[in-house]
Chains A and B, each alone.
Chain A
Amino acid sequence: MKEIIRDLISPKVDENITYIKDLLKDTSDIVYRQFNIADWKAAIIYIDGMADKVILDNFVLESVMLKSERVENVMQIKDNLLTVSDMRQVLKLSEGLNAVLSGDTIMFIEGLSALYVIASRAWPSRGISEPSGETVIRGGRDGFTETIRFNTALVRRRIRDTRLKIEAKTVGVRSKTDVAVLYIDDIVNKEVLDKVKGRIENIKIDAVLDSGYIEEFIEDNKWSPFPQMQSTEKPDVIAAGLYEGRVAILVDNSPFCILVPATLPSLFQTPDDYYQRWINSSILRLIRFAAIVLAMLLPPLYISVTSFHTSIIPTKLAYSIAASREGVPFPAFIETIIMEISLAFLLEAVVRLPKAIGSTIGIVGGLILGQAAVSAGIVSPIMIIILSITAISSFITPNYEVSSALRLSRLFLIICSSIIGLYGLAIGAIIILIHLVKLKSVGIPYLSPLVHPHKKDMKDTFIRAPISIFRTRPEFMEPKDKIRQE
């Protein structure tokens, strides 16, 4: 699978060009420009569409071709003539070719057994826009784009500390995707950092197309539906994570940056919580928590109560539920499964549709189909109510991956409670709890700070205490520098 490129650079420009042309034959977008610098032959090679011709024309070729009387020997070209701010000398041909394929330009000069790599990367890129999956009411609306260098700049703007480290790695034998590992040197937990770096280095696949690939390679448990890393498009979330001692991983071509380690309580937090008033945020957090519990428990409770333990609810409610279920041919369990499946279908469809039709389908599907189903007697009205409450509550989860995991858990609980009622619900909840308790994210327990609790960590879990009392960083992360505020 590995490419075979020779390393040797010949001092004769023509030889190099012939070799490269032979290696890269049938590629129509590579440009070979041969010219003279005073008496020496020279050539530049670049890819049309990836290299910035403005730099090449105005700053490389112009000074090199027109002002060449300033130099007397080949060595001086780099220091006195090449008016570009970002260039380096490279001694291996393979490295030079990799640079060309990444959008840089390489320059050969007769008599030089090296080549110069001139940074000229420029390609059409999406402008900074608000990430559609993470809208905020208050806070910055800039989101990452697909170019890794712009993304690191967005993070840098929020951390102007000399101890912010951005380590570069290349992953993927054929894709050679740039991967950047970011951390703050004197805060981060070294064990976590070493584990992450080690796991990235062990990736041997041929192509990495998105940060999702990296996530799957370095996570602890691939069989769990719960995400063990947080992926986000917002630089302020990344910066906040770095300040807590986490490690961020940026992958070229992906606007989704990974934060490691992630814990379940932290996946329920939004940046809004920190930028708005703390009392309001605390209440919102409690509401969020209640909504998620409700979304998980309501359908299984409905099944248990109507199919198994009808004596639990007050008589009046029991009568009204029975009345609304009159004429429905399916037992409660099948009803719930039908509605779960239709909800899943609807959500998937709305994601794929173009924006214009998307919202219409939502209304059509939700209202009209639901109403029609009730009129046809396929489901009961009470099921629709439960479904809507469940759906709305499940959208409160800020993280999309977590909400899909919760949906799966709810399905599991539905099945459990349809087999043995409330006992099944309790056992199902215990099983999910055991799974969550076992889970670790790069060595940190997934349910921290609910397990192994530290008193100081509680101020940012169920509520959001005022920032003035955030004196230390979260202790379950075991950061090196614990003091946040004097």
Chain B
Amino acid sequence: MDEKKFVGKYGLFSTITVTVIGVGAFSYPSTMANEVGTDGWIVTIAAGLICLGVLLIIYKVVNKNEFMPFYDITTNTLGKFLGNIVILLLCVYFIFSVSIGMRIFVEVIKMNLLGKTPSEFIILVMIFTGLYLVRAEISALVKFNEISFIIMFVPMIIILLFSAKGGDVSNILPIMQHSPKEYLNALITSTYAFGGFEISFLILPYVKDRKEIKKTLISSMAFITIFYAGVVILCLMFFTKDHTKELIWPTMSLVRAIMIPGTFIERWEGVVMALWVFYYFTTFVNMFYFSSELIKESFKLDDIKVTSLILAPVIYLIALYPQNITEVYDMANRSTLFFVSLSFIFVPFILFVLKGGRKRGEKNEI
């Protein structure tokens, strides 16, 4: 297949960053505080390094397979049958994770913005918008990511910087107070927040300048890690670890507590809520596109417009299945281990270890 290579450095950077940083960013400090108290940021950095390692392995895999699309790499390495199974499992993971995220997103919207609107409607609107973008093909997706990055992070970073004023740095201490087992558990939970980097499998074949890829991957991972760690630190500074443990969405509470004198918006969470739509939407639409693309290849349907229409009701149903927010988090936690090991460990390593087999269409040479 010869697609045009149109993704630049910034395109790759922004795609990975906006896909990874999603709704998780808002509850992350609390989960960390519950697991390892004040060491959340250290665990975050460690998790970031691990994910960077996995990302570089992915790069090596794609590189070795001459930047073929992900479906081709997997079926070449593992054979058609096993390859298809792995791909379908991955799609299940993506769709599931996106649907859970959708439900969390809807719950937050209902709590903060629209108490009386039915969840079904909120979800439908989101899904239809996602369909609109997916139908526009991958070049539009990457361009959308590039713009979303600016919209998402420039205001957020400015807002968060203002919150540093009310915090107390000493709240971050003491450090290193927990047992290795707790650190390990926290590490696993933390890596779940970094999920989404698999999108690089989708994008790397379209990258224009292959020499700069490694640097771009490192810088995007660095940005993500610093963002998460920064949010954790700011929450700890402002709320102390005990209070952070109790908040469901500490980042939101942080924003709520900000006082910027002289502005006419007193309660910034409204603005941040509007921004949050972007955070979730970018994660959602990128993974939705990737899954639709993989299903399209797997079932040999020619058009991503068809597969995305098939996946849309699946997301809708899964998102509406849990009865309340606790069930949602429960479902998420129970499936974390399986999916994380699949996506973080199994796929990259297996593809790395088993060298790519025949090229598509060519004979096998002994």
Contact = CB atoms under 8 A, between A and B. Distances in A.
Contacts of A453: 8, 10, 146
A434 interface: yes
Contact of B114 (A308, A447, A450): A308
Contacts of A422: 113, 270, 273-274
Contacts, number: 89
Nearest to B267: A312
A35 interface: no
Interface stretch (A41-49, A277-285, A424-432): A424-432
Interface in A301-315: 305, 308-309, 311-315
Given A430-B277, A451-B147, A313 B265 contact: yes
A437 interface: yes
B137 to A, nearest CB: 9
Contacts of A445: 143
A434 B133 contact: yes
B338 interface: no
Interface residues of A, number: 29
Contact of A430 (B8, B122, B265, B278): B278
A115 to B, nearest CB: 52
Contacts of A312: 265, 267, 269-270
A415 to B, nearest CB: 13
A447 B143 contact: yes
Nearest to B146: A451
B140 A309 contact: no
Q: How large is the interface on B (under 10, 10 to 19, 20 to 34, 35 or more residues)?
A: 20 to 34
Contact of A434 (B140, B265, B267, B269): B140
B133 A452 contact: no
Interface stretch (B124-132, B301-309, B349-357): B124-132
A420 B144 contact: no
B299 interface: no
A421 interface: yes
Nearest to A426: B277
Contacts of A19: none
Given A311-B267, A452-B6, A430 B146 contact: no
A369 B8 CA distance: 53
A437 B278 CA distance: 15
Contacts of A451: 143, 146-147
B281 interface: yes
Given A308-B113, A313-B264, A452-B146, A423 B277 contact: yes
A434 to B, nearest CB: 5
Nearest to B148: A433
B126 A427 contact: yes
B133 to A, nearest CB: 5
Contacts of B136: 434, 437-438
Nearest to A434: B133
B170 interface: no
B266 A434 contact: no
B109 interface: yes
Interface of A: 305, 308-309, 311-315, 317, 420-427, 430-431, 433-434, 437-438, 445, 447, 450-453
Given A305-B270, A433-B147, A437-B143, 7 more contacts: A308-B114, A313-B267, A426-B274, A426-B275, A427-B125, A434-B144, A437-B136
Interface of B: 6, 8, 10-11, 109, 113-114, 117, 121-122, 125-126, 129, 132-133, 136, 140, 143-144, 146-148, 264-267, 269-270, 273-275, 277-278, 281
